[in-house]
Amino acid sequence: MPPKKTVKHRNALSPPAERIHAILSLLDEHYPEARCSLGYESPLQLLVATILSAQCTDERVNHVTPGLFTKYPSAKAFAEASLEELEEDIRSTGFFRNKAKNIQACCRILDAEYEGRVPADLDILVKLPGIGRKTANVVLGDAFHIPGIVVDTHVARVSQRLGLTAHKDPVKIEQDLMSLIPRERWTDFCHQLIQHGRKICQARKPRTSICPLNPHCQYAMEHDDGGVSP
């Protein structure tokens, strides 16, 4: 009679500093070229694309923006556009009326107060219509290379499962990650978590059996049942 197969249970998680180092090394190994998946050529284009990405896939946004940016090449062009026409131009991204209103209101301020340029300042950006900390940090990190923590649904979910935060509020998650992750890694770290969330640590059924972060993951430790099938 063959021996019974035993299930190996993982030990307690390693100390926080060791876990962070291991997680960052594994993310570098598996997602070395992680970057913003929105197409853009200027800070203004990234700002508009990020507004459009709310409740919409990046693929859909990237389908819309080439024509949009040709038609509206500047903040002044967006500011002076027909609101109804702008709504139609972005209709396929969803919530198009509110997005068009925010884009135009934001661009009117940029045109009137900042010579049409996007300011590289978090405190200014978050005061613009339609711009929250997530959008501001995307623009700062990718357009200006100023490190920032971008808390989208993937970053929130994966960081919670890893045990890097116990919070659900995006601002508190951002603060937790800022205290744990080296500042120079903030932007790349978030892009890597987003890729990991899309490919492996999915919302409904995380693919724990093939997850490279398993040894350092609180969720995997608490749900150690031999792994979820990919």
Length of the chain: 230
Q: Pick the catalytic residue: 89, 99, 134, 176?
A: 134
Return the closest-CA partner of residue 164 out of 151, 188, 144, 181. 181
In degrees to the nearest 10, what's the CA dihedral of 144, 149, 155, 160? 170
172 catalytic per annotation? no
| DSSP single-letter state for residue 163 | T
Radius of gyration of the chain (CA): 20
152 catalytic per annotation? yes
Contacting residues for 39 by C-beta, under 8 A, at least 6 apart: 49, 62, 65, 66
Q: Pick the catalytic residue: 28, 58, 152, 224?
A: 152
* Cα-based distances in Å from 191 to 35, 49, 77, 151, 214: 6, 16, 31, 10, 19
| Residue environment code for 22-54, b if the CB has 16+ CB neighbours within 10 A, otherwise e | ebbebbeebbeebebbbebeebbbbbbbbbbbb
Q: Any idea which residues carry the catalytic annotation?
A: 134, 152
